[in-house]
């Protein structure tokens, strides 16, 4: 476990503000390879901002981010991606005019040095995308688009995968499929990695994750196993103001 933590992701005292608005304040988080972490919190609590800072999409003001024993603070996002952090987006960002195969291929080509076609075929197969192979990504049903975005990210063979509301917009069945898929990925011999998942569907998060990190107004208010976090007073209080997301 200690070894897994060393090869995983560590954010240390990360702060980020947008002209006065403190989006993140001294947030620390460790995601070991092979574990699934949930990141929850009310709207605007800084979840996406944390993902943006980790993936290099936004620079952080203070703090450090490490991947294994590499300090990746302040690196360009494409460097961070090649070092082993992949992500998806809250609003899907596929290469809409490219085919499903090309979307995956673009990720594979960015990191691999051979056997591209076999890798792409295997990935499409692994994620049940083969039948869509030549379809333009923008024309896919929503649920398939979400799955393709994850497959594209995994094409870069990440050590850490960051998922921003992967179940948003999916129906019950699609969510269940996604949940099963994410579990499979963690234990997969080839694509196994550590994952940090944001979602508003708390039932899904509780079932999916090994550990949960809770943000409120940019600060960590709780961290731990799902059953502990669920009963944490600060978490209940933060969520009481947001009735539509009651903790059950």
Partner 1 sequence: MSNWSRRRLAVSGRTWLVLSLLLLLAGGGVWLWDDANLIRIATNFFLLCTLVVSLQVFVGNSGIVSFGHVAFFGVGAYTAALLTIPPNVKERALPMLPAILMNLETGLVTATLGGALVAFLVALLTGLALARMQEQAMAMATLALLVMMHAIFSNWETVTRGTIGLYGIPRGINLWVALSGIIIIIGLALLFKASPTGLHLQASREQPLAAQTIGINLVRVRLIGWLVSGALMGSAGALWAQNILAFGPDQFYFVETFTVLSMLVIGGLGSVSGAVVGAAVVTGVSEMLRDLEGGFTLGPLSIPELPGLVQLAVAVLIMIILIYRPEGLLGQREVGGKR
Can you give the binding site for Mg ion, defined by CB under 5 A? 48, 90
Of all helices (H) and strands (E), which one includes residue 149?
helix 142-154
Q: Is 194 in the site for ligand ATP (CB under 6 A)?
A: no
- Placement of tokens 């949960």 in the chain: 212
Rounded (10°) CA dihedral 106, 107, 110, 112: -110
Among 13, 18, 97, 130, binds partner 1 (CB under 8 A): 97
| DSSP code of residue 119 | H
Q: Is 107 in the site for ligand ATP (CB under 6 A)?
A: no
Among 48, 55, 175, 211, binds ligand ATP (CB under 6 A): 48
Q: Is 210 in the site for partner 1 (CB under 8 A)?
A: no
Token digits of residue 117:
């076609």
Dihedral of CA 130/161/52/90: which sign?
Answer: positive
Q: Is 99 in the site for partner 1 (CB under 8 A)?
A: yes
**C-beta of residue 140 within 8 angstroms of C-beta of residue 148:** yes
Residue 57 interface partner, choices Mg ion, partner 1, ligand ATP, none, CB cut-off 5-8 Å depending on type: partner 1
Question: Which residues in this chain contact partner 1 in the complex, by CB under 8 A?
Answer: 55-57, 76-78, 81-82, 86-87, 89, 93-99, 101-103, 105-107, 109-114, 116-117, 120, 134, 136, 152-153, 155-156
């Amino acid at each position: 476990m200690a070894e897994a933590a060393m090869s995983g992701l560590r954010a240390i005292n990360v702060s980020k503000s947008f002209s006065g608005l403190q989006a993140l304040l001294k947030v620390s988080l460790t995601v070991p390879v092979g574990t699934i972490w949930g990141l929850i919190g009310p709207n605007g609590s800084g979840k996406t901002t944390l993902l943006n800072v980790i993936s290099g999409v936004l620079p952080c003001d203070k703090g450090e981010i490490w991947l294994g024993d590499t300090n990746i603070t302040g690196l360009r996002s494409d460097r961070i991606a090649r070092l082993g952090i992949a992500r998806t987006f809250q609003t899907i960002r596929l290469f809409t005019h490219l085919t499903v195969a090309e979307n995956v291929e673009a990720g594979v080509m960015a990191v691999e040095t051979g056997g591209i076609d076999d890798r792409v075929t295997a990935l499409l197969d692994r994620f049940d995308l083969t039948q869509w192979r030549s379809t333009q990504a923008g024309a896919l049903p929503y649920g398939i688009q979400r799955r393709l975005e994850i497959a594209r990210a995994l094409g870069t063979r990440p050590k850490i995968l960051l998922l921003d509301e992967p179940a948003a917009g999916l129906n019950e069945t699609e969510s269940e499929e996604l949940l099963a898929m994410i579990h499979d990925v963690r234990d997969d011999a080839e694509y196994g990695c550590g994952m940090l998942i944001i979602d508003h569907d708390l039932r899904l998060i509780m079932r999916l994750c090994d550990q949960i990190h809770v943000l409120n107004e940019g600060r960590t208010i709780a961290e731990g196993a799902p059953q502990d976090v669920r009963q944490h007073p600060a978490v209940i209080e933060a969520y009481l103001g947001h009735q539509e997301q009651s903790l059950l």
